[in-house]
Amino acid sequence: MTSIILAGGKSSRLRRGKALEVIGGRSLIQRVIERLALVSNQILIVGSLAQFHFLSDYSVEYKADLYPGKGPLGGIYTGLAASKSLYNLVVACDMPFLNIELLRYMIKLSPGFDAVIPKVDRIQPLHAVYCKSCLDGIRTRLEDNQLGVTYFLRTVNVRYVGQAECQRFDPQLLSFSNVNSQADLARANILAKEEC
């Protein structure tokens, strides 16, 4: 299994690069890598070349966006193109509480689908499994400048994982907590202390 970490966001609400923000004594990106290492034999970080100088301390592979400025869909494409696996976990770099059992469950559901996506309040396309079968469809949309991930997902065979299904593994749904603001960062630090 390959895991793809999308680190290309601009962090406009936090107003600084969030991948290295510290939560519970470890950076966001480090927490994500540590969890994904439990289910992956390849971990890719996808982003802009400008980011790699400060992320390069981690023993993972770095891939510059093949379609710079095309948002998460471009990052997913870059990761899938570089992956050695048919099925790939895709997560954002700002999800410090990934639940390994939920991820394993999603991986088990993958065969026969182009994507496995949780649906918790809304769909969660940046906490998902994507098959390499998505590559051609994503490339077409990128070249047509149709960048919405949710719109792309309407064109492929998706297995949605409902909220109750997710809560079997992650009762508080912390997997889907991300850090976009100072308030999110403070809350994440409180949750990290409770986790310890």
119: helix, strand or coil: strand
| pLDDT for the residue numbered 12 | 47
Per-residue pLDDT, averaged over 136-155, amounts to 97
DSSP assignment letter at 85: S
174: helix, strand or coil: helix
27 versus 5: the higher-pLDDT residue is 5
Tell me the residue type at 26: R
CA atoms within 13 A on the CB side of 73: 21
156 versus 187: the higher-pLDDT residue is 156
Q: What is the pTM of this model?
A: 0.92
| pLDDT for the residue numbered 10 | 59
Kindly state the tokens that stand for 159: 């297995």
pLDDT band, very low/low/confident/very high, at 187 (cuts 50, 70, 90) = confident
Buried b (16+ CB within 10 A) or exposed e, 123-140: bbbbbbbbbbebeeebbe
pLDDT band, very low/low/confident/very high, at 84 (cuts 50, 70, 90) = very high
- How far is residue 58 from each of residues 30, 36, 44, 50, 169, measured CA to CA in Å? 8, 13, 11, 16, 28
Residue 4's closest CA among 52, 46, 58? 46
